[in-house]
Amino acid sequence: MQKVFLVGVIISLAFADQLSKWWLIEVFYKPRLFEADGPSLSFFEWLATFGQQQLPPISIEITSFFNLVMVWNRGVSFGIFSSVHEIMPYVLSAVALVMAVILGVWMSRAKYLTTLIPLSMIISGAVANVWDRLRFGAVADFLDFHYQEIHYPAFNVADCCIVVGVLLLAVDGIIIERCRNKKKLQREILNESAC
């Protein structure tokens, strides 16, 4: 039952990421800013269409600290390893999928939800961004938070899943695991003293 729940978490978060990108690209940006001819693609048609064209850069100010943007990340987090070489999306996708498999093996051995949920978040984010790379050649980023002219790198829902998952995994490994080990040691001491 737990495995079904975790697979559901992975699929739901990846679906939420793709749905947010579809809405922004096909429903919000294309008809309003680019006056695109013809109807926007339906979600499932968009999700299954490879070789899609990347929209040009866009920035719409929403508040004094937040913009909706359209940028294409050809690298990994924060644009690291960014390259316009046409093989790079496939290389980065392969690396991300290998990492997702490694995290999946870790998930199969982990016992606690405090470990399993962050791992499923990271896997979902990685898989969602891989899907972007395979369809667009880059990852679609659209959330831009800033203070005056200092901008945090643009990101998307999948990136949020990865970052929050890594932070929760760190809390699990540093704080919660220590508490579990302490309780386990206390139980062992109580069992020894009872003998």
CB-based burial of residue 118 (10 Å sphere; 0-12 exposed, 13-18 middle, 19+ buried)?
Answer: buried
Instruction: Say if 195 falls within a structural domain.
Output: no
Instruction: Say if 180 falls within a structural domain.
Output: yes
DSSP string, 103-148: HHHHHHH---HHHHHHHHHHHHHHHHHHHHHHHHSSEEEEEEEEET
The answer to whether 54 and 46 are in contact (CB under 8 A) is no
Instruction: Say if 105 falls within a structural domain.
Output: yes
Q: What is the pLDDT of residues 137-187, one digit of tens each?
A: 999 999 999 998 898 989 999 999 999 999 999 999 888 888 888 877 777
Instruction: Say if 45 falls within a structural domain.
Output: yes
pTM (two decimals): 0.86
Picking from 31-40, 82-91, 114-123, which range would have the lowest pLDDT averaged per residue?
31-40
Residue 81 in this model has a pLDDT that exceeds 60: no
CA distance linking residue 160 with residue 70, whole number of Å? 17
Task: Please tell me the total count of domains within the chain.
Answer: 1
Instruction: Say if 47 falls within a structural domain.
Output: yes
**Residue 38 phi, psi dihedral angles, 5° rounding:** 80, 170
CA distance linking residue 96 with residue 162, whole number of Å? 12
Instruction: Say if 168 falls within a structural domain.
Output: yes
Picking from 53-62, 78-87, 130-139, 160-169, which range would have the lowest pLDDT averaged per residue?
78-87
Give the residue numbers marked as catalytic.
Answer: 141, 159
Residue ranges making up the domain that contains 43 = 2-190
Q: What is the pLDDT of residues 41-58, one digit of tens each?
A: 899 999 999 988 888 899
